[in-house]
Each structure stands twice: as C-alpha cells, then as structure tokens.
Amino acid sequence: MLKKMLALALALVLALSLVSCTGGGNKTVGEATTEPLTKDDVVSIYVISHPTWSFKEDWKVWEYIKENVGCTLEVTGVPGAEAPTKWALMFAAPDTLPDILTYDHKPSTDTHALSGAIMSFDSQIEYMPNYKKWVDSLSEEDYNTFVNTHKSFDGEVYYPPVQGRELQECVRAWLYRKDIFEKHNLEIPETFDELYEVSKKLKELYPDSYPFCIRSGVGTTKVLGSSFKEYWEPEYYYDYNNEKWSYGATEDTMLEVITFYKKMVAEGLMPSNFITIPTSEWQSLVSTDRGFIFPDYMTRIDNFNSVVRQSNPEFTVSAMMPPVANAETGVAKVAKQNYDALGMVICNTRDEKRIANAAKYIDWFYTEEARQIVSWGKEGETYEVVDGKKQYIKDAAGNTPKFLYGFGTHGTFTLLDPEAIASGDSKEINEVREMVLDYSVPYMNPTNYLAVNNEEQKVLDEYYVAIQNYTQEMFTKMVLGQEPLSIFDEYKETLVEMGVNEVLAAYESAYARVK
C-alpha cells in the first residue's frame, strides 16, 4: 500500500512539476552569495512527523540547531501518512515550496531530480564547503557506502549522505518474548519446523494468542526472506550470490513462503490479517501476551520494554538467531536494511538566494561541531559525563533521546556520533546488537537506493504498480485459502505477461551504472 501511495504521488509530481519547473525556468528572485547565514535569512523546512515520535517544536534538538545555524528557522511537521501527497502538491505549485523538505525514501527524490524539482548538492557545492571537506575525507569504502548509494541518475547527489546510525537505523532482527520463553522453559527455535512447534505450544498456553505475530505482510516477508534463500525478497531484488536481478514472487521460494504462512494462519498461529493489521493492533498483541515471535526493527526492543514494563516489570522483548526455513536454500539470515533513509532535499524554489541559503543550512550539519550538538545536545540538559563517558539524561520512564529530545528525527542531522546511538539504546539492545548484525546478509537490496533515468522510469510507470498489486492480491488469496496453491504456476506466468521482465531489465540497466 505504501509503495502504491508513493507511486501515485510520484506520478503526480512528475506530471505536474515538469510543467511547473521546466516551464517556469530557474527564475532568480534573490542574489546568492557565499556569505554566512544571518538572522535576516529565513530558511523554511517541512519535516515528516513519525507516528512513534511525533514532531515537537519544543524538542531540545531544534533549540540547539536554531542557536547554531545562524539563520531564522521555520519548521513545520507533517504526519508521515499525509507527507507524500502534500509534498507532491507543493512540487506541482513551486511558489508554495519551502526551502527544504525531508524524506524517508531515497528513490522518491530521484523522481524529483529527473523533473528538476530539487537541486543537487553538486550544483551548490560553492555554498557547501563542509560537505565537500567531509566527502573528501572518506575512504574509498566509506565513499561507496555513504555517497555512491545517494547518487541519482546523472551521478550527482540530491539526497544527503548520512553517517552514524548504521548500528541502529532500520536494523532488522528476529525478536521474541524472552520472559515468556524462560517462564515456560521453551527452547528458542532454530528452524522453521521448531518455529511451528513452539508456536503450537504457546498457543496451548495462551489460547487467545497469535504466537508468530508478524505485520505488514509482504513487507515483513522481505525481512525474513533470507531464511528461505539468502537475499530473497518477494519483490525485485539483486541476488548477489548468482549476480542477477530477480522478481522473488515468481520463484518457487515464494510458494514455500506461502505454504508456511497458510499453515500458520489456518491453525491460528499467526494473525489472518497480518497483511493489513494496523501497527497499533499489532503492538497491542505483543504487549498483552498475545504475540511472542516477530521479525521487526531491533529498536522495537526498547519501544516495547520501556512502555510495557511500567505495568508488567517482567516483560522482556529481546533478539534471537534467525531460524532456518525448511528449504534447500535456507540459511540463518535476515535482510540487511540498515540504510539510513532519512534526509533533507533542497527544493528548486527558482530563487537562487533561497536555494543557496538552504544549501548553507544543510552544509552546517557536515561539521564536527554539528555532529556533536545534534547527537548529544548540551551537558547538564540532555547528557551528563559519568566515568569519563557521555550518557543521556533520561526521564523516569526511560524514554529514548529520540522521543525526549528529538535527536535523530527528520531534518535534525546528517552526521551522528555512533557512541551517542549506543548510549541512547538500552543495555538490552547493546547486548544483542553485534549478534543481530552478524546475522544480517552482507549486502542490501539496491532498490533501497537505486536511481533510474527517464527511460527506466517510463518502464516502472507502465508496469510497476499493477504488478505489485497483483502480487499482493494473489499472495493474500493463496495464504488465506481463497485460491488453491495449484494456481501458482499460472500466477507466475501472469506476472511475466504483466511485464516483470521489462522491469527487471530497467533495474539491471540502472544498477550497471553503480555496480
């Protein structure tokens, strides 16, 4: 559903902003200079407000940024569900654009780059000396990791490279209720056969539960797909072992996944609405002894523990080794998704001064001073030094620095101190972090960052959404028993007829530019 919304929003952007931006030209309203920002310079920024840590204007991080960037800053938070449509409408009418917009999906910004609706960092490099200094300081490996993955179709950077949260951001893990397992002397499952058996035991102990409690259907299947075959996803993915692009939903692995899910749903061992279950409902299952094993974000450990322990002190979510699926290609792996997708883009407001000021604003975040300020804040206010080490000052409930102070939220950083990330996490996350990362596959799916050109985008526009919708529809029907598994070969043939190979060719072409 999210990809469908994004695709529709991006289609609107591409159709309308091409008219608005290229038709109007790059009109100069103000004269750009390399002089530092002053209080007379106003920089406006719209940020995505995450539902778990909704934007707060009085967060300490915004106070510190305003004190240090030099300009007058106007920040507006927009709920994440509304942002794609709102951004698209603003791009369609450039006079309504702020100076900066935030995103959590790099490929979305590539569409704006194609249309000329945003400015590349390369085009503003004279206003971004700190960014250039940081890039020039990177090793070849770090350059490939942090900069190459942020380039667009023309080899330029439109989406800010970010560094510092690799040990936390989007790290996925197999999570489980450690306290429940210990209470009943249950063994942690190492295979999917054992996962099934322990789920049955938990169902006997807790009849109203769904022991294998996953959400987001196809999305979560992308995370656990490597348990069936390393790198496998039910969508487009690059098979690094065989060096080829594939559409996972057309592989026999998809049938193995569907067969397992079908059995689990039929026996009440996982929610039948796992594809569409609201996050709030899923959270309620986990927090009330009705969900016990679930692949999800590693940070969920703290999200759950800090809240539920207020009423249930024994409650403990922790991470376990990924179980191996009952498949010839099964491995104990989980998808690598620790790609930091949060970033700020410079809008093409057709005002050279505003564009330059936006570049200067973002450039400040590439200083070491900024890294420390937006990571830690101020001593005595947001952190203290204990035994020579910084540690965050938390509230009585143990809420995270992100929730308390806004550190690491949209629009507040490009560089972060890894030690601050570790300090912000609980002892429980830090104890399992290395294990979790060890079980991640070595490389992430390039679709997380891959940029397409105009011709490739036309192919995606023609085929992508229809294929995704059909895949999810048939996936759901086969899992729920509304269609027999015997139609799987017919389903695969239909996907090929719908243009899967054409989309794969577009991805192969785009990947060849960064491989």
Same domain, 27 and 140: yes
The answer to whether residue 503 is domain-embedded is: no
Same domain, 361 and 407: yes
- Relative to beta strand 343-347, strand 100-103 is antiparallel
pLDDT for 44 equals: 98
Same domain, 364 and 241: no
Same domain, 138 and 186: no
CATH of the domain at 275: 3.40.190.10
The answer to whether residue 439 is domain-embedded is: no
Same domain, 242 and 102: no
The three-point CA angle 455-247-222 to 5° equals 115
pLDDT for 313 equals: 95
With tokens 């310079």, the residue in question is 41
pLDDT for 29 equals: 62
Q: What are phi and psi of 425, to 5 degrees?
A: -85, 160
Q: What is the mean pLDDT of each run of 10 residues along the chain (515 residues)?
A: 44 42 45 92 96 90 96 96 93 94 88 91 97 96 89 92 84 96 98 98 98 88 94 96 96 96 97 91 96 94 92 97 94 88 92 97 98 97 94 84 92 94 87 94 91 92 96 95 97 97 97 84
Domain boundary among 320, 355, 379: 320
Predicted TM-score (pTM) of the model is 0.78
Q: Are 416 and 375 in contact (CB under 8 A)?
A: yes
Domain boundary among 320, 352, 382: 320
The answer to whether residue 277 is domain-embedded is: yes
Same domain, 176 and 315: yes
Same domain, 120 and 177: no
The answer to whether residue 397 is domain-embedded is: yes
Q: Are 31 and 62 in contact (CB under 8 A)?
A: no
Same domain, 249 and 314: yes
Same domain, 153 and 192: no
Same domain, 141 and 231: no
The answer to whether residue 242 is domain-embedded is: yes
Same domain, 141 and 209: no
- How many domains does the chain fold into? 2
Q: Which domain holds residue 411?
A: 2-167+339-416
The answer to whether residue 326 is domain-embedded is: no
The answer to whether residue 480 is domain-embedded is: no
pLDDT for 60 equals: 97
Q: Residue 36 carries which DSSP code?
A: P
d(CA 257, CA 50): 31
Same domain, 49 and 163: yes
pLDDT for 261 equals: 96
